[in-house]
Amino acid sequence: MNTLAANPLTDQFNRPLRDLRISVTDRCNFRCVYCMPKEIFGAGYPFLSREETLSFEEIARLGRIFVDHGVRKFRLTGGEPLVRRNLEELVRLLSEIDGLEDIALTTNGSLLSLKKAQALKRAGLQRISISLDSLDNTVFTSMNDVGFPVEKVLQAVDNAVTAGLEPVKIDMVVKRGVNQNSVLAMAERFRGSGVILRFIEFMDVGSTNGWRMEDVVPAQEIIDTVSAVWPLVPVDPNYLGEVANRWQYLDGQGEVGVIASVTMPFCGDCNRARLSSDGQLYTCLFGIKGHDFRGLLRNGASDEEISGLLQTVWGNRVDRYSEIRSSNTIHLKKIEMSRIGG
């Protein structure tokens, strides 16, 4: 660990930097309607070139500097991170960073074979979240919009469990009129399995997913729906800044979570930054402007110079989009989720 260690950062609201979401690619093999609608992300969409994308070594160098300033958790995202070849090599590089406590991955599961899951585990990946929006193939294939079947995602869940990437979490984005009728079936499928299901409110990330408030199924409505069949009781968060509100089944059959960025904002203790695959740092999921770290990396900047930019960016941070969301902010041209992950 270099001499920059023991220099934790706080922003203008005294929020520390603890969690870095690292996008390794802006590409994905799904075209989910709430993230990468094919009408926008079609054959002619200008995805990043290989040269524009950070190398694994560049990501690891930035990772070390972020850990020196208080980051304790990395989450690898995309796009779909497993379309990036040899991702386990990046996991290995990151796992060697002194002071890092946790490496997680968010994936749609389409490329998560047992062999891949085991390779990621051996390299140092600790946990995994898999996106699955319904158990109904008609609903799910219409949402991923590439005809990918539920059964293959469920196999990916089994592969993750077998590889020891536990607790495995399932992320379900709930959109009214599309898949809210799948909530109970999803809860029933994962109750008692050791897999944690998390319901996510449909969010206005980016500006291409056609977000409307009337399409949001509020977290409380979701919890009420599940609790009416299998009573739930609230559980304390695992740590400060946890994004999901936790609920436990009264009969002891595990827990569910709800991520309620729209109806119950959690900006007050948000400790996450997001690094895009082309090296732009965003201090909010709903960010408009990034800060260029790739330029510093490739123009010969020292670790101290890169550290200085990070200190300035985080020290000036005042983001609280979900708390101030209004008709004046919803239509701002925000960074797309496919560029910075969830």
Helix (H) / strand (E) element for 22: namely strand 19-23
Q: Give just the sign of the alpha carbon dihedral 91, 92, 98, 99.
A: positive
Q: Is the peptide bond before 167 cis (omega within 30 degrees of 0)?
A: yes
Parallel, antiparallel, or unpaired for β 255-259 and 196-201?
parallel
| Cα(210)–Cα(203) distance, integer angstroms | 10
Under DSSP, the state recorded for 16 is: B
Where exactly are the structural domains of the chain?
A: 19-340
Instruction: For residues 35 and 173, give the distance between their C-alpha atoms in angstroms, rounded to a whole number.
Output: 10
> What pLDDT score was predicted for residue 128?
98
pTM: 0.93
Closest CA to 117 of 145, 156, 91: 156
Average pLDDT (36-45) is: 90
Looking at the predicted structure, is the pLDDT value of residue 4 above 60? no
CATH code for the domain defined by 19-340: 3.20.20.70
Q: Which of left, alpha, beta for 192 (phi over 0: left; psi -120 to 50: alpha)?
A: left
The model's pLDDT over 150-208, given as tens digits with 9 standing for 90+, comes to 999 999 999 999 999 999 999 999 999 999 999 999 999 999 999 999 999 987 676 66
280-322: per-residue pLDDT in tens?
999 988 888 899 999 999 999 999 999 999 999 999 999 887 7
Is the Cβ–Cβ distance between 128 and 105 less than 8 Å? yes
Q: For residue 129, what are the CA distances in angstroms to 74, 81, 196?
A: 13, 12, 9
Distance CA 10, CA 166 (A): 31
Q: How far is CA 93 from the centre of its chain?
A: 20
Strand partners, 16: 10
